[in-house]
C-alpha cells in the first residue's frame, strides 16, 4: 500500500535535534512515515549512537523510516578520485541508514555537478562501477539505494542515464527516486514514470510552476496530480512518497504540517480510486 510521509527537516526548523516531541506532533496530525534528512542539520553530521537512538524512538512510536544521504555525493564525476571519496561517504551512510532503521537511502549521484563535455560516458561508467562495489554492502546492511532524479543539466537529470545504470546492475538494492519537482523541468512526468516502471523505490512529491525547483506541497503549483496518481497506479507502484515542504513567511509549523496532512489525504483518496 502506498504510504505518504514527510522529510524530517520540514519538522526541525532550527538546528534542534529531531526529538520525541517532533514525532508526537507528526503522529497527532496523522503522519507515520518520515524520511530522515541525513543531508540537513540537525541530522548531518550524525553519529552511530544518534542513529541507534533514532531507531529506538521511531520504533517506539511506530514510525516507518526512509533516509536521505548527504548532498555531497559525486559518484558520477569523471574524476575517479572524487568518485572513490564519495563512495566511502555513501558506504558510511548505508550503515547509518541501517542503524536508523531505514530500508531505503536516497542519494544525489551528481550534486551540483555539471557534466564535463566529452566525458559523459566516463561519468556513467564511474557511477555504475561505484554502485557495483556498493551492492554487496547494501545487501549486508539490508538497505536499498535510490538514485534521485535531478534538476536539468546533470548526468542524472536524464532518466535514460539512470535507467542504464540501474538495468546494468540488475540488483534489487539499486533503484530510482523520482523527484517530481526536479524531473518535470526536463521531461513530462508521466513519460518518466512509465519509463522507470518497476525500478522506482520512492517518490519525492513536490510541486512547482514548471519553470524552476520550488519544493511546494502538491496542488500548490502546476503539476497535474490527477495524471500523476493515475500513472503511478497504472504501473503498480506500491512504495513510499515523501513530501519536502519548507516553512513559508508567516506560516507556523503546525499550519504547514496540517496543510501537508490535507494534501496527503487528498492524494490517497485519488489513489484509492484505482484500487477497488
Give me 150's grid cell: 535531478
Bridge-based pairing state of the strands 200-204 and 174-179: parallel
- DSSP code of residue 42: T
Asked whether residue 92 carries a pLDDT value surpassing 70, the answer given is: yes
Q: Is the pLDDT of residue 124 over 90?
A: yes
Specify the DSSP class assigned to residue 222: S
Rounded to 5 degrees, what angle do the CA atoms 42, 48, 53 make?
70
Gap between the Cα atoms of 177 and 67, Å rounded: 12
pLDDT, the chain, mean: 95
- What three-state secondary structure class fits 228? helix
Is residue 14 over pLDDT 80?
no
**Alpha carbon 197 to its chain's center:** 17
> Percent of the chain beyond pLDDT 90?
90
Average pLDDT over residues 48-61: 97
Q: Looking at residue 276, what is its pLDDT? A: 66
Give residue 16's pLDDT: 75
Cα(3)–Cα(240) distance, rounded to whole angstroms? 5
- Residue 7 is predicted with a pLDDT of 97
pLDDT digits (tens, 9 = 90+) for 229-261: 999 999 999 999 999 998 888 889 999 999 999
Quick one: average pLDDT of 61-73? 97
- In this prediction, residue 15 has a pLDDT band, given cuts at 50, 70 and 90, of low
Q: How many residues does the chain have?
A: 276
Average pLDDT of span 87-114: 94
What is the average per-residue pLDDT within 48-75?
97
pLDDT of 116: 82
Question: Which tens digit of pLDDT belongs to each residue from 141-165?
Answer: 999 999 999 999 999 999 999 999 9
Domain that holds residue 138: 3-272
CA distance 98 to 86: 18
Among 90-94, 111-115, 184-188, name the most confident range: 90-94
Cβ-in-10-Å burial (0-12, 13-18, 19+) of 140 comes to exposed
Residue 193 has which C-alpha cell?
514514470
Residue 177 pLDDT > 70, yes or no?
yes
Give the pLDDT score at 63.
98
Write down the pLDDT at residue 55: 98
Tell me, what CATH number does 182's domain have? 3.20.20.150
Structural domain count of the chain: 1
Q: How many CB atoms lie within 10 A of CB 55?
A: 18
Own/partner contacts of 207-211, CB < 8 Å, gap of 24 or more, are 207/180, 207/181, 208/181, 208/184, 210/184, 210/185, 211/185
Average pLDDT for 69-85 = 95
Q: What is the DSSP letter of 207?
A: B
Amino acid at each position: 500500500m502506498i504510504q505518504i510521509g514527510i522529510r524530517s527537516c520540514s519538522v526541525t526548523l532550527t538546528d534542534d535535534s529531531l526529538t520525541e516531541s517532533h514525532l508526537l506532533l507528526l503522529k497527532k496530525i496523522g503522519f507515520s512515515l518520515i524520511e530522515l534528512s541525513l543531508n540537513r542539520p540537525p541530522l548531518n553530521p550524525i553519529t552511530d549512537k544518534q542513529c541507534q537512538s533514532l531507531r529506538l524512538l521511531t520504533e517506539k512510536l511506530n514510525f516507518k523510516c526512509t533516509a536521505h544521504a548527504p548532498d555531497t555525493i559525486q559518484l558520477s564525476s569523471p574524476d575517479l578520485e572524487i568518485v572513490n571519496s564519495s563512495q566511502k561517504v555513501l558506504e558510511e551512510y548505508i550503515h547509518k541508514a541501517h542503524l536508523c532503521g531505514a530500508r531505503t537511502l536516497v542519494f544525489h549521484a551528481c550534486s551540483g555537478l555539471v557534466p564535463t563535455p566529452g566525458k559523459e560516458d566516463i561519468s556513467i561508467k564511474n557511477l555504475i562501477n561505484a554502485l557495483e562495489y556498493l551492492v554487496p554492502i547494501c545487501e549486508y546492511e539490508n538497505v536499498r539505494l535510490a538514485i534521485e532524479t535531478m534538476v536539468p543539466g546533470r548526468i542524472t537529470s536524464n532518466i535514460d542515464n539512470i535507467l542504464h545504470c540501474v538495468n546494468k546492475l540488475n540488483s534489487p538494492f539499486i533503484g530510482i527516486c523520482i523527484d517530481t519537482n526536479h524531473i518535470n523541468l526536463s521531461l513530462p512526468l508521466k513519460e518518466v514514470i512509465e519509463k522507470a516502471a518497476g525500478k522506482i523505490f520512492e517518490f519525492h512529491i513536490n510541486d512547482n510552476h514548471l519553470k524552476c525547483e520550488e519544493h511546494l506541497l502538491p496542488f500548490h503549483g502546476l503539476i497535474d496530480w490527477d495524471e500523476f496518481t493515475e500513472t503511478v497506479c497504472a504501473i503498480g507502484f506500491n512504495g513510499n512518497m515523501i513530501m519536502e515542504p519548507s516553512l513559508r513567511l508567516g506560516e507556523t509549523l503546525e499550519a504547514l504540517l496540517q496543510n501537508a496532512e490535507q494534501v496527503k489525504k487528498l492524494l490517497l483518496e485519488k489513489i484509492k480510486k484505482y484500487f477497488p
